[in-house]
């Protein structure tokens, strides 16, 4: 597996800064937790990526960097990607349904949300995750590692794209080589 260019600073390579309060958006994986989507109708590669994630929950994948989870899953299932941050065919979530097993790349993202009358924020400067479950048009469970909540192990968090206040994200559908 090729590694990203050495010119990318390690800090920017895969950094997720999360306030201590943002752990309300994170939840531990419990036995029997199922993605919120009927996985029997997923494209084959998406299902295989999910199967890879399921066998690695609570475990460190690769070096524990965020992108290692997506990279190793795509390599394992024989998917085509550029070994940087283009993880397949880019989809537009307003046009094409996002599916479990898709990959999301965050660039300079700031999220802001309110819960129980308190305001919280999260920053994802350069972060990669796998869509684990689809709860709504902009509401997902994501599997990722190298976070303040999970450390270098794979965990599941809830992501609401309506809370993105700044930055960009790109969603990719795995494709066969």
Give the CATH number, domain containing residue 52: 3.90.1720.10
Q: What pLDDT does residue 75 have? A: 96
- Residue 91 has which token pair? 């989809």
Is 13 inside any structural domain? no
Using an 8 Å Cβ cutoff, are 172 and 86 in contact?
Answer: yes
Residue 104 near residue 132, CB atoms below 8 Å: no
Q: Give the count of domains, the chain.
A: 1
Q: What is the per-residue pLDDT for 57?
A: 98
C-beta separation of 46 from 145 below 8 A: no
Write out the DSSP string of 164-177.
EEEEEEEEEE-EE-
First to last CA, the chain: 15
Q: Range of 114's domain?
A: 39-176
Cα separation, 35 vs 110, in Å, equals 25
Is 138 within the bounds of a domain? yes
Q: Determine contact, residues 106/169, Cβ cutoff 8 Å.
A: yes
86 found inside a domain: yes
> Which is nearest to 53 in space by CA: 37, 77, 36?
77
pLDDT tens digits, one per residue of 126-146: 999 999 999 998 999 999 999
Segments of the chain with pLDDT less than 70: 1-40
């Amino acid at each position: 597996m090729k590694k990203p260019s050495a010119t990318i600073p390690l800090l920017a390579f895969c950094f997720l800064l999360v306030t201590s309060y943002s752990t309300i958006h994170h939840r531990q994986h419990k036995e029997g937790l199922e993605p919120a989507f009927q996985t029997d109708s997923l494209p084959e590669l998406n299902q295989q990526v999910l199967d890879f994630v399921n066998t690695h929950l609570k475990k460190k994948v690769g070096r524990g960097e965020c992108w290692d989870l997506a990279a190793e899953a795509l390599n394992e299932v024989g998917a085509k990607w550029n070994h940087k941050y283009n993880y397949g065919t880019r989809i537009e979530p307003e046009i094409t349904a996002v599916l479990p097993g898709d990959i999301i790349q965050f660039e300079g993202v700031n999220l802001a949300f309110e819960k129980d009358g308190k305001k919280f924020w999260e920053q994802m400067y350069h972060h990669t995750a796998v869509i684990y479950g689809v709860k709504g048009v902009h509401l997902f469970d994501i599997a990722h590692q190298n976070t303040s909540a999970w450390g270098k192990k794979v965990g599941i968090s809830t992501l609401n794209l309506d809370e993105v206040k700044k930055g960009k994200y790109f969603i990719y559908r795995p494709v066969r080589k």
